[in-house]
Structure 1
Amino acid sequence: MAPQNLLLFGATGQIGSFILSAILSARDQFGRIVVYTSPRTAETKASDLDPLKEKGIEIIVGEIEDGKAVEKAYEGINTVISALGRNALAQQIPLIRLAAASSSVKWFLPSEYGTDIAYGPQSAHEKPHQQKLRVRAVLETEIARQDLEYTYVVTGPFAEMYLHQTPGVEEAGGWDVKRQRAVLLGDAGTEKISLTTMKDVGTLVLCTLLTDSPETRNRALCVNSFTTSPAEIHAEFERQTGGQPWESVSRTPLAWLRELEAAAWEAGNPAATVLTLRRIWTEGGTLYAQRDNGVIGEPGTMGLQEVVANEIRRVGSL
Structure 2
Amino acid sequence: MSDSPIPKKVLLFGATGVIGKDIVKALVDAKADFEKIAIFTSPGTAESKKEKLDALKAEGVQVVLGDVNSEEDVKKAFADYDTVISALGRNVILTQIPLLDIAEAAPSIHTFYPSEYGTDIEYGPESPNEPPHQLKLKVRKHIRENIKKLNITYLVTGPYSDLYIGKLAIAPQAGTFDVKEKNAVLCGTGDDPVSFTTMGDVGKLLVAALKTPQTEPVRTLKVNSFTATPHEILSEFEKQTGSKWDVSYTSLEDLKKAEKKAWEEKSPIATVFTLRRIWTEGGTLYETRDNGKIGDPPLETLEEQVKKAVETEIPGFQSGRL
The amino acid across from 1:230 in the alignment is P
8 Å CA contact retained: 1:226, 1:304: yes
- TM-score (ref. length: structure 2): 0.95
Q: Tell me if 1:72 matches 2:64.
A: no
Report the Cα offset of residue 169 of structure 1. Answer: 2.1
Contact residue 165 and residue 172 of structure 1 kept, 8 A? no
Q: Which residue does the alignment assign to 1:312?
A: 310
1:102 aligns with 2:100: no
Inter-partner Cα distance in structure 2 for 1:197 and 1:51: 23
Query: For residue 274 of structure 1, what is the aligned residue in structure 2?
Result: 272
Could you tell me how far apart the structure 1 residues matched to 2:38 and 2:280 are? 38
- Map of 2:198 onto structure 1: 197
Query: How big is the shift at 1:45?
Result: 0.6
Q: What is the aligned residue count? A: 312
1:169 is matched by which residue type in structure 2?
A
Q: Report the alpha carbon displacement of residue 168 of structure 1 after superposing the two structures with TM.
A: 4.2
- Please list the CA deviations of residues 182-213 of structure 1 after superposition, one character each: whole Å capped at 9, or x if unmatched: 00111x21011000000000000000001123
Q: Tell me the amino acid that sits aligned with residue 231 of structure 1.
A: H
| Structure 1 segments (4+ residues) deviating >4 Å | none
Measured in 1, the distance between the counterparts of 2:171 and 2:10 equals: 40
Q: Deviations over 1:40-60 (max 9, x none)?
A: 210111001112222332111
Q: Percent identity?
A: 48
Q: TM-score, normalised by structure 1?
A: 0.96
Structural mapping, 1:1-318, within 5 Å: 1-143=5-147, 146-186=148-188, 188-214=189-215, 217-242=217-242, 244-246=243-245, 248-317=246-315
Q: Provide the rounded CA distance (Å) in 1 between the counterparts of 2:301 and 2:73.
A: 42
Task: Measure, in 1, the Cα distance between the counterparts of 2:46 and 2:290.
Answer: 36
Q: What is the distance in 1 between the residues matched to 2:256 and 2:125?
A: 18
Q: CA deviation at 1:34?
A: 1.5
**1:209-261 CA deviation, whole Å, 9 max, x = no partner?**
0112316x50210000000100000011001111x321x21011101100000
| Counterpart residue type for residue 161 of structure 1 | L
Query: C-alpha distance in 2, partners of 1:275/1:198?
Result: 20
Structure 2 SS opposite 1:299: coil
Q: Secondary structure at the match of 2:126?
A: helix
What's the offset of the Cα at 1:164? 3.3
Q: Per the alignment, in what secondary structure is the counterpart of residue 151 of structure 1? A: strand
Q: Give, in whole Å, the separation in 2 of the partners of 1:11 and 1:290.
A: 30
CA contact (8 A) 2:166 2:179 kept: no
Residue aligning to 2:320: none
What amino acid maps onto 1:203 in structure 2?
K
Q: Cα RMSD between the aligned structures?
A: 1.2
Return the alpha-carbon distance in structure 1 between the equivalents of residues 38 and 298 of structure 2. 27
What is the alpha-carbon distance in structure 1 between the residues aligned to residue 196 and residue 180 of structure 2?
A: 23
Residue identity matched to 2:87: A
Q: Tell me, yes or no, if the aligned pair for 2:167 and 2:179 is still in contact at 8 Å.
A: no
On the 8 A contact 2:166/2:309 being kept in 1, the answer is no
